[in-house]
Structure 1
């Protein structure tokens, strides 16, 4: 597929955690069962499907319809991915800050059950960082137009971007640019864009969005929980999802959470969830 990147138009069946094109989504699931991937029959295995919290119920109902009527699976369980991420750390009580490609949410969980009234969700996540990175690269002289080229930007984001403790200082020092090799063999020098782009997760207003930043989403979710649970939640914060893997995210979330909390409620333990995933956790339950 890489060699045909420039000839392809890439579409995403999901937008902000919700399936928008069920035909494309079904094709992806068919590919998963194909001889190139799992090499198995869908009728032979139960399915665990994860979803973001506060998704519309019709999204879940349609997924169940597809798996039972099209793939004839023997059983289907749909779980909130944040709960499984917490299980993966060996905990049943805590708060999960999950930021993936399309949606970010903070989910307080008590004894294995999410507390719906405390959940915070914003539609700022990894794909928005990729779009912002594309804009910043354009200002640095590199232009990416097509959907295939957008995938190149996403790869640059994953390999070169990080969160700076002091972005103003880094930019003033004119830190060395990172050289990235493009699919056509040419090279691209990535400058301040590599630490400016991820700032969007904490400052959505950089693109005119009025959503809360990651640290605010986390703090607000905890403060919406019962007062007796807040200290426990602050002591068991788990980061999950690809958009929390930027170098410096743990420190940025910790600093932001402290600024949002009272002096009596400081984050005591914050865990970067980088190895275990919701799926591996769910498969062991």
Structure 2
């Protein structure tokens, strides 16, 4: 028998990301807190004894020196459950609510292994004692945040890029495409570019953080990379301060960043620049669309929805629209539309927060009692799509 009135409280919404976790409550417009999905323990601590040592989580871990870092998610999938549990506990601490009090809606990556989904439920029900749970695919929530149930979601975060076609609230798993090319790869590429431009090594964790901040604050995507590169060479951008942007380091030193500003995110369209063995995202989109039923292809190209922090670069929408129109057949080219909402960095969380607040969603929660009686079967039956919304 249920012992709490959890359905009278707004649900907790947790959007798991390889780079950051976004946390908040159903019905709210933005997450209450966002922090890095990372934990750290002192370097001199043995992993086997780390349970008795202080564990730093999120921003605190990155600010502390002398730590060994653990990233519980790799390419969008949980790989270290002990550390993931610590990140979730930190999220509840930040929200200042006990997990036993409210339902939780948790997001997951497309093609998340079944065993991982089951482990999520086991951890939250048994270790955290949540009263009710729902797990939903991130791409579906992105569409829902923009009032859609059909479209092709290009979701690029820190650890992975997914291309997910969705029709009537249901994903098409056979057509989902996954690229292990995302924000973390761009940060590493920026480290190389800065090393070349500034003629100094960028190898430490502190250097990585500088590269990430430079990437997020100064980078843009050129509409024509070759023309931009030629103009930079003619203007001698990397030889003096002309055409460069200043960036202040934590110690107060000012560096000037040149062509790295547009060369860094260019690998999304041309991964070969960084010796990455992948197609550019424009080709991945076309391949994804062409793997879908022929009668849906123009419709999907007409609703390519960007999501995730790695799509926030200035020029992203225009460049992708141009590339897709050039690659699509003539009839479909006229219909190409790339949607880039200003809040797309949080679109997954926003969609989840809207969904969890709906009265019509009440029957989609899995309670502790149901989980105890039916096990993982109820999880897979109830969390596979948003088809109930599109009926």
TM range (shorter): over 0.9
Deviation of 1:154 after TM superposition, in Å, equals 1.0
TM-score by length of 2: 0.69
Q: How do residues 73-84 of structure 1 correspond to structure 2 at under 5 angstroms?
A: 73-84=130-141
Match of 1:66 in 2: 123
Residues 15-60 of structure 1: per-residue CA shift (max 9 Å, x gap): 11112222221111111111xx100000111111112212222222
Change (3 A) 1:60 1:148: farther
Question: Are 1:171 and 2:232 matched, yes or no?
Answer: yes
Residues 70-99 of structure 1: per-residue CA shift (max 9 Å, x gap): 111112211111111011111111111111
Question: Are 1:98 and 2:166 matched, yes or no?
Answer: no
SS in structure 2 at match of 1:44: coil
Task: Determine the C-alpha separation between the residues in 1 that align with 2:83 and 2:337.
Answer: 41
Give the one of 164, 168, 172 matched to 1:115.
172
Contact 1:6 1:148 in 2 (8 A): no
Deviation of 1:4 after TM superposition, in Å, equals 4.1
Match of 1:129 in 2: 186
SS in structure 2 at match of 1:60: helix
Match of 2:212 in 1: 154
Contact 1:6 1:149 in 2 (8 A): no
Residues 119-172 of structure 1: per-residue CA shift (max 9 Å, x gap): 111111110000000011111124332224312211111111111123323422
Task: Determine the C-alpha separation between the residues in 2 that align with 1:232 and 1:241.
Answer: 22
Larger deviation, residues 243-252 vs 4-13: 4-13
Match of 1:54 in 2: 111
Match of 2:348 in 1: 278
Task: Determine the C-alpha separation between the residues in 1 that align with 2:252 and 2:119.
Answer: 43
Task: Determine the C-alpha separation between the residues in 2 that align with 1:78 and 1:268.
Answer: 31
Deviation of 1:9 after TM superposition, in Å, equals 4.5
SS in structure 1 at match of 2:220: coil
Match of 1:189 in 2: 256
Match of 1:242 in 2: 309
Contact 1:125 1:243 in 2 (8 A): yes
Deviation of 1:240 after TM superposition, in Å, equals 0.7
SS in structure 2 at match of 1:215: helix
Match of 1:228 in 2: 295
Deviation of 1:2 after TM superposition, in Å, equals 9.2
Q: What value does the CA root-mean-square deviation take over the aligned residues?
A: 1.8
Match of 2:337 in 1: 269
Question: Are 1:33 and 2:103 matched, yes or no?
Answer: no
